[in-house]
Amino acid sequence: VAGAPGNEWISAMSRGAPPPAALLAALLLLPAAAGLPGEGSAIWSRNPGASPVNASQLFLHDTFPKNFLWGVGTGAFQVEGSWREDGKGPSIWDRFVRTRLQSVNSTAASSDSYIFLEKDLSALDFLGVSFYQFSISWPRLFPDGTAAVVNAKGLQYYNALLDALVLRHIQPMVTLYHWDLPLALQEKYGGWKNESMVDIFNDYATYCFQTFGDRVRYWITIHNPYLVAWHGYGTGIHAPGERGDIATVYTVGHNLIKAHAKVWHNYHSNFRPRQRGWLSLTLGSHWVEPGRSEAAADAARCQQSVAAQQQVRGTADFFALSFGPNNFKPPSTVPKMGQNVSLSLRQVLNWIKLEYGNPRILIAENGWFTDSHVTTEDTTAIYMMKNFLNQVLQAVRSDEVQVFGYTAWSLLDGFEWQDAYSTRRGLFYVDFNSKQKERKPKSSARYYKQIIQENGFPLKEATPDMQGQFPCGFSWGVTESVLKPELMASSPQFTDPSLYVWNATGNRRLHRVKGVKLKTRQAQCTDFISIKKQLEMLARMGVTHFRFALDWASVLPSGNLTSANRQALRYYRCVVSEGLKLNVSAMVTLYHPTHARLGLPGPLRLGGGWLNPATAQAFRDYAGLCFRELGDVVRLWITINEPNRLSDIYNRTGNDTYLAAHHLLMAHALAWRLYDRRYRAAQRGAVSLALHSDWAEPANPFVDSHWKAAERFLQFEIAWFAEPLFGSGDYPPAMREHLAARSRRGLSGSALPRFTEAERRLVRGAADFYALNHFTTRFVMHEQRRGSSYDADRDVQFLQDITRLSSPSRLAVLPWGARKLLRWIRGHYGDVDIYITASGVDDQARENDRLRKYYLEKYVQEALKAYLIDKVKIRGYYAFKLTEEKSKPRFGFFTSDFKAKSSVRFYNKLISSGGFPAEHSGPACGQAQRDRECAVCSLLLRRKPLIFFGCCLFSTLVLLLSIIIFHQRRRKFWKGKNVQNIPLKKARKRVLS
């Protein structure tokens, strides 16, 4: 339970130490079973994580079998209290607390279940459990330990508890020994070191069977005998606190196993025929994994380590497993002798199945801990319970492991053994210093109640996949970051008129021949090698749109119009115009800053950047130049990419962040108004800015402050820019109010700028569509923070849900969040056109990127549901991104050396289908014809050198054939001419001859 084997045992086993004699003796007591010793080692040779989207490894939305038992447990010494009341005798733990745990005054500070039985029963009613696992305090029933004279008060208490459970249709599950050995037996016999304890324990068990057996169907003899032997008589961190040698530990373990076996045979022979119950003992374990999956020696050590704790068969009617937090507390994966401690309960269950012939398994103890200051908001415990329970469900449904019940540990906060009251493990909070010891349900209690009511994890967050297609004009795109312009053609051989001589044997350089000039042709866009590569990749993907960003600093190095770089503008025009030849339109981003690179021209950056309002005017001029030079070939414009993420750069104070954001809004609005007034009529384009828009969910749905924190995150993340543009023309009231409240409490000095009336008119409505970059869903909890910064002002903390599929960079893959976000935008800003301008995930695979394909399929599915069901006006989806960058998370469809991954073909197929059409539906929007055209384009691009060579060869052959024909005809002509010029006599003679 709370005792910890830690890693001492792992290390001992790794050094080749033999397994404890007690556990070896268990094998002698147990008959053969269907499984063979050692078969469990096959678990470590499996590779279930080979595919990140393997259906058997993903979170399972399903329910448990109908007869599955849901329970909760406690230990008598941990929760009963009243250690000297009503004739109870002292236990070894009572003395251990007084002598070894001086910081603990008395166990009287516990939950006092002995006094407040009705409150415990009310807690059980609240949960709706089907069984309650509790232990009988041996010294409360028999103060001196011998089953001679029973303590009437103790007997009355346990009879009352059992009767109340039966009345409530809650099945009792009784543990006979949960570590509180009567002190008299320790002092008289030396405790479990003495073999006499076997018969004494059997006498005590016999009394319990006789007295309580008419109401009890499930019995546990001993809870985690390994910890009793190892920590009670070896390490000394548990009562009785003895530090013995390994032989003593083996002796104690041997006696515990013998005691269990004798009690089992006693029950089997004398009580089972009438009471029809089942009996076992609880075995505790952590799970270990090889440090190197391919190392057979490490796997062998893991097999030995687990087997040494779990070798019990035959004298148990079911396998009772304790998988508590202290088997791996702290939750570390630090390698120990080729082994890593793991939280994989599913792996343990599969090991038991293979090793012991798939026995019936009860999870007799499982839960997590929180610090002592935590009251009812135990969010971490919810996610650990969710993780463990879903692993059990996967083992039951996918692996056919026979788990028949689950015990959440524990019902109440109580005494946690060597940790005393410094940690809490209860589903119900108890104030130990209060008189009434009220049981207050924690979030974990509410969550467990919900799981019991639903009998598992039914699918609620998302609707099933649907069939359907996006409209014909839907934009299927791919996004690239900033394209650095090539200022010189990569293929100058057709544009340079000079003749060169190569010094092949000397310095191996080209030397220009003076005075010689060759004929040249005009420069062409295909002279740029990078454009050739982009065209080839775009053709293979089959996209209709390509989103990329200009480099402001390259176009206007000085930051003003006096130094426009015409070569850079020509390069960008080539990117767009060459794409149009493939029917790929451009969505051009004017300014794309990142947390690592601000992207401003040097003079503007040195002049204060976005803290200077003059930068907004400079951006307007830059935007006007781009509209004028590229607007005839560009229809979709993004002014600024993710201005709501510049807090990473302007983070000295919150006011700096908000001022920079204010100027970014002004810059966008100025550019939009310029386009609307001067260019829209002729160019017929649309302009907006792209906001980073992750969805937020409350980390703990049972806590109101978490719901408020999730909405506050959306206000600070999205509405901060969206509300001025698509709403009121001012910043969100919720954002202003929250900052004002923090200021009143002295937590922050941040405040949002004020819009003048002219600025409000300038900003409001200055966007033609909503452009969002969406990658993941964040789980948010409230956490009050002190400090004047954007991050602190939000008062939020993020939590990683370990049960969710996530990428190498820890982006949670939660497709349903995208649909919720789209509905939220529609609900707040009406029927605005929406483009998803960037959406993707990093995937380590360099070829078969299965995680990216899964992400694309599921996120596009949610977008389709939003379009068809929720009537959200989605106009386009742009996958992120075209190529990956070296030394960064791998988001690209193509590697940095332009090799296509399997997701390219997958996305191409998705695009050509227009979504997810029904099985027998025809091609949408004349797609078949476009597919043929696209296939021809792709073939021409890929085989361009070969086709060029073939054309040259064909032309040469035609020329040679023409020359030959010409010469032959000319010969015949001149031959005829010669005959006509011969005199008649000579001709006649020649004819006669």
pLDDT band at 106 (very low <50, low <70, confident <90, very high): low
d(CA 558, CA 291): 56
Quick one: average pLDDT of 547-564? Answer: 95
Q: 320 φ, ψ to 5°?
A: -100, 120
The sign of the CA dihedral 38, 41, 43, 47 is negative
pLDDT at 460: 81
Quick one: average pLDDT of 885-891? Answer: 88
Where is average pLDDT lowest: 215-219, 678-682, 871-875, 972-976? 972-976
Residue with tokens 């939020």: 796
| Helix or strand run (H / E) with residue 396 | helix 379-397
Q: Which residues contact 625 (CB under 8 A, 6 or more apart)?
A: 555, 556, 561, 564, 569
Where is average pLDDT lowest: 64-73, 262-271, 322-331, 953-962? 322-331
pLDDT band at 19 (very low <50, low <70, confident <90, very high): very low
pLDDT in tens, 41-53: 665 555 545 577 8
pLDDT at 329: 45
Ramachandran sector of residue 60 (left: φ over 0; alpha: ψ -120 to 50; beta: rest): beta
Q: For residues 944 and 451, which has the higher predicted lDDT (pLDDT)?
A: 451
Is residue 74 within 8 Å of 135, Cβ to Cβ?
Answer: yes
pLDDT band at 922 (very low <50, low <70, confident <90, very high): low
pLDDT in tens, 41-91: 665 555 545 577 877 778 999 999 999 999 999 999 999 999 889 999 999
Where is average pLDDT lowest: 7-16, 375-384, 591-600? 7-16
β-strands 468-469, 545-549: how paired?
A: unpaired
**472: DSSP letter:** T
**213: DSSP letter:** T
Say whether pLDDT at 108 is over 60: no
Average pLDDT, the chain: 87
pLDDT in tens, 236-275: 999 999 999 999 999 999 999 999 999 999 999 999 999 9
pLDDT at 923: 59
Q: 341 φ, ψ to 5°?
A: -70, 135
Say whether pLDDT at 581 is over 60: yes
d(CA 141, CA 205): 11
pLDDT at 26: 34
Ramachandran sector of residue 476 (left: φ over 0; alpha: ψ -120 to 50; beta: rest): beta
Model-level pTM greater than 0.95? Answer: no
pLDDT band at 991 (very low <50, low <70, confident <90, very high): very low
pLDDT in tens, 475-500: 999 999 999 998 776 655 666 778 78
Q: For residues 343 and 944, which has the higher predicted lDDT (pLDDT)?
A: 343
Q: Which long-range contacts (CB under 8 A, 24 or more apart) does 518-523 make?
A: 520/494, 520/495, 520/496, 521/494, 521/495, 522/495, 523/489, 523/495
3-class state of residue 16 by DSSP: coil
pLDDT at 28: 35
pLDDT at 614: 97
**330: DSSP letter:** S
pLDDT band at 298 (very low <50, low <70, confident <90, very high): very low
Where is average pLDDT lowest: 165-169, 302-306, 461-465, 837-841? 302-306
Q: 585 φ, ψ to 5°?
A: -85, 160
Say whether pLDDT at 926 is over 90: no
Say whether pLDDT at 394 is over 90: yes
pLDDT band at 567 (very low <50, low <70, confident <90, very high): very high
pLDDT at 507: 79
pLDDT at 51: 72
Q: For residues 816 and 960, which has the higher predicted lDDT (pLDDT)?
A: 816
Say whether pLDDT at 893 is over 60: yes
Say whether pLDDT at 569 is over 70: yes
pLDDT in tens, 708-746: 999 999 999 999 999 999 999 999 999 999 999 999 999
pLDDT at 58: 87
835 closest CA partner among 890, 783, 797, 873:
873
Say whether pLDDT at 364 is over 90: yes
Where is average pLDDT lowest: 607-611, 833-837, 985-989? 985-989
Quick one: average pLDDT of 760-784? Answer: 97
Is residue 464 within 8 Å of 457, Cβ to Cβ?
Answer: no
Say whether pLDDT at 992 is over 50: no
Amino acid at 565: N
Quick one: average pLDDT of 369-378? Answer: 93
pLDDT at 594: 87
pLDDT at 1: 37
pLDDT band at 334 (very low <50, low <70, confident <90, very high): very low
Q: For residues 656 and 509, which has the higher predicted lDDT (pLDDT)?
A: 656
